[in-house]
């Protein structure tokens, strides 16, 4: 049947096919009370799915969950309210962070409603969410929703690669945590336009979430609030017990992230950072590991170690202070019931001896050594060695954007710093903006409020006792003079070069 041929089924007349999939065809249809989204089964198995979906929808009542209007007792069709909107991935393109956070918070509320009803969605993804003109997201497909902890039928994977949690990929019982992971993946996609894991081979999405960790969103989208960066990555934790919850607390958690300063993004060095993320994953299973990061001062060794430690903490690994590396320190490594991560100064002989013992005794420890040169004794024992590469020009363009500076200066900055991370950051932090002396009181108040980073216009309005239009009026001359810049796609203002 043509997608444009009217379809008569039950009391409805289908006018145009909107889509289709494993759960059946979806049609724009006319009913006695107006247009509906009509889902139609084309097989016996699809009838079972629609019957189950109708039963699920009849239990739910939430502004962000599609409403059931009518259904066939035999599962031949079900009619839902018609949502006029774009799919979440299409809607998110070019959106301000604040708008994305609002949508993520509403989705968290919807997921919490399902959980309160004893249900797990199990297939949250952008294509299952429509966002209307008012920015209201609606879950439109509940075909895979099941009771909490219900096993996947037949032991077969049901879900969508790229958004499915590791425990769902392993075909185990699915509980509330799979929806928390999917919410993190969806928010990551909205922020960056990418899946948490990028690969040329789609089949790799079946195993990547079990072998590595996602790159922070701020590495893809500069000026992402630091707290939002962390919340999304914690939702994407491999260990389900480390994900923040319950879902009912996440809406407020998302909105609170907008109060934080922008994250200091880590850019470039992607191969080395991926190696370290995989080392964290290996450590979670108790595999001993030693990674030596060597190179000149300012080459990015500390940055790589710091990011690796942050990943480890989100996975529930304990980080041990290695300031004291004597006998008591080794006793701590040998007796701890937890997997440990230990940053070490590889230029100290005692640190090298500790790393040697970790490998020889196969202790469940990941040691990260910062050294000036390769450590031959550790090479012989199988330690991984890496030299952080210089940042490339495109990496510097991202950093310039993060510091609210003109990305076109990337070539000039690369020539001045040779891509050495410490030199780049020093250059960015010391550059000042010449603030005009002829500013009025309101203009000075606005600049003072934005010296530490972007501030939303709505927040500035409250701080300054003005309407949002009033704030924009004050900002106009500052924008023209290059002292102030727009941030978050126009939703916020910031000084042209925060330090």
Catalytic residue list: 123
**Which residues are within 8 A (CB) of 427 and not within 5 positions of it... i.e. 6 or more apart?**
413, 416, 417
Q: Give CA–CA dist 332/318, Å, rounded.
A: 12
**DSSP tag of 351:** H
- What are the strands of the beta sheet with 384-386, ordered from one edge? 318-319, 340-345, 365-371, 289-294, 384-386
E runs forming strands in 3-87? 7-9, 12-21, 24-31, 34-40, 68-71, 77-80, 86-87
Tokens 């994250």 -> residue: 263
The residue with tokens 């909105």 is: 255
d(CA 217, CA 224): 7
Query: CB–CB of 192/243 below 8 Å?
Result: no
Q: Which helix (H) or strand (E) holds 109?
A: helix 97-116
Sign, CA torsion 41/47/50/55: positive
Q: How far apart are CA 292 and CA 368, in angstroms?
A: 6
End-to-end Cα separation, the chain, in angstroms: 63
> What is the Cα–Cα distance from 247 to 105, expressed in whole angstroms?
10
Asked whether 386 and 273 are in contact (CB, 8 A), the reply is no
């Amino acid at each position: 049947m043509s997608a444009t041929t009217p379809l008569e089924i039950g009391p409805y007349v289908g006018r145009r096919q909107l889509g289709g999939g494993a759960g059946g065809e979806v049609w724009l249809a006319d009913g006695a009370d107006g247009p509906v989204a009509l889902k139609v089964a084309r097989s016996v198995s699809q009838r079972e799915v629609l019957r189950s979906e109708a039963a699920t929808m009849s239990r739910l009542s939430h502004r962000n969950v599609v409403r059931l209007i009518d259904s066939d007792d035999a599962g031949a069709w079900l009619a839902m309210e018609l949502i006029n909107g774009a799919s979440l991935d299409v809607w998110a393109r070019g959106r301000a962070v604040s708008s994305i956070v609002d949508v993520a918070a509403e989705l968290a509320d919807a997921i919490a409603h399902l959980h309160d009803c004893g249900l797990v969605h199990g297939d949250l993804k952008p294509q299952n969410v429509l966002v209307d003109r008012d920015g209201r997201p609606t879950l439109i497909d509940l075909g895979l929703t099941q009771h909490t902890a219900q096993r996947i039928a037949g032991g077969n994977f049901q879900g969508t690669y790229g958004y499915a949690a590791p425990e769902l990929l392993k075909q185990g019982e699915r509980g509330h945590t799979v929806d928390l992971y999917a919410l993190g993946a969806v928010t990551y996609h909205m922020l960056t336009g990418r899946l948490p894991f990028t690969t040329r081979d789609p089949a790799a999405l079946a195993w990547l979430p079990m072998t590595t960790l996602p790159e922070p969103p701020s590495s893809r989208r500069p000026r992402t609030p630091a707290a939002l960066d962390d919340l999304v990555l914690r939702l994407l934790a491999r260990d389900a017990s480390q994900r923040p919850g319950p879902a009912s607390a996440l809406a407020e958690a998302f909105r609170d992230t907008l109060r934080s300063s922008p994250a200091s993004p880590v850019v470039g060095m992607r191969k080395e950072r991926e190696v370290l993320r995989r080392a964290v994953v290996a450590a979670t299973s108790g595999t001993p590991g030693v990674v030596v990061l060597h190179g000149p001062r300012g080459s990015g060794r500390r940055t790589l170690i710091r990011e690796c430690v942050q990943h480890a903490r989100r996975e529930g690994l304990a980080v041990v202070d290695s300031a004291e590396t004597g006998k008591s320190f080794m006793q701590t490594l040998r007796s701890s019931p937890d997997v440990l991560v230990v940053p070490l100064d590889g230029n100290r002989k005692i640190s090298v001896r500790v790393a040697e013992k970790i490998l020889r005794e196969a202790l469940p420890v990941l040691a990260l050594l910062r050294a000036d040169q390769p450590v031959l004794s550790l090479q012989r024992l199988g330690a991984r060695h890496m030299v952080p590469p210089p940042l490339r020009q495109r990496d510097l363009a991202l950093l310039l954007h993060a510091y609210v500076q003109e990305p076109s200066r990337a070539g000039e900055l690369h020539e001045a710093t040779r891509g050495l991370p410490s030199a780049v950051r020093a250059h960015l932090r010391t550059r000042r903006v010449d603030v005009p002396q002829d500013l009025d009181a309101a203009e000075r108040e606005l600049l003072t409020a934005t010296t530490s980073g972007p501030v939303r216009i709505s927040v500035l309005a409250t701080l300054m006792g003005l309407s949002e239009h009033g704030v924009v009026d004050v900002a106009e001359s500052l924008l023209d003079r290059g002292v102030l810049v727009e941030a978050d796609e126009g939703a916020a203002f910031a000084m042209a070069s925060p330090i």
